[in-house]
Structure 1
């Protein structure tokens, strides 16, 4: 029998209360994997939806790798001033400490998985 320390943990996304993260507008983020949801110690994973007119304002995360996997919608991101067009099934990696921002393009929400490792 497995001890509690090595057991898997299931998180049902709709059961997580969405929050608008700091430095974001018109954004809903649901924590999927982090220290609070499953006891993770090395990674954070979120389901994020940025609604039209919203954005993730310029930010940086020293000592933390960061990235997006686009599920639905289109958007644009900037990493250290370089523009990236985001479409479904695209991944964008953001190195530790890099200035970055993200927003939907057009009238559709941008839905994505956001990761950070190690945790902030």
Structure 2
């Protein structure tokens, strides 16, 4: 087992799926790089898979930046007052202060990577 805060290599199968607060209907994530899994101090790196109709509620981050990279499936993403279809190979950048939400409106799982930095909102 790797010491937290040290360099590490982990396999995705080592981290359990979990449903974080504000995520509903089978919106599951694996916290692959996170203070609790690796001891990271600046990054939260997750893979998420949302079943059809699953979603994260609309929310905003005061100081955090986020990147969503859609790996498979399709859904709808709210960014501010705009709603857009997102699908495989879309990369979404969200600066601080941007209200956003994502939901799976497709027929199969919506799978994506989420990178957040810094770890906490101010």
TM above 0.5: yes
**Residues 70 and 112, structure 2, Cα contact 8 Å, conserved in 1:** yes
Indicate the residue corresponding to 1:43 in structure 2. Answer: 43
Indicate the residue corresponding to 1:57 in structure 2. Answer: 57
Superposed CA offset, 1:3-57 (max 9, x none)? x899531121122111111111111110111112222111110010111011111
User: Within 1, Cα distance between the matches of 2:4 and 2:31?
Assistant: 20
User: Within 1, Cα distance between the matches of 2:12 and 2:62?
Assistant: 28
RMSD, matched Cα: 1.7
Deviating beyond 4 angstroms after TM superposition, the runs of 4 or more aligned structure 1 residues are 4-7
TM-score using structure 1 length: 0.89
List gaps (5 residues or longer) in structure 1.
none
Indicate the residue corresponding to 2:28 in structure 1. Answer: 28
Indicate the residue corresponding to 1:18 in structure 2. Answer: 17
**Residues 19 and 27, structure 2, Cα contact 8 Å, conserved in 1:** yes
1:59 positional shift: 1.0
List gaps (5 residues or longer) in structure 2.
none
**Residues 11 and 37, structure 1, Cα contact 8 Å, conserved in 2:** no
Superposed CA offset, 1:70-108 (max 9, x none)? 011011101111122211111001111211000112221
Higher strand proportion (structure 1 or 2): 1
TM-score using structure 2 length: 0.88
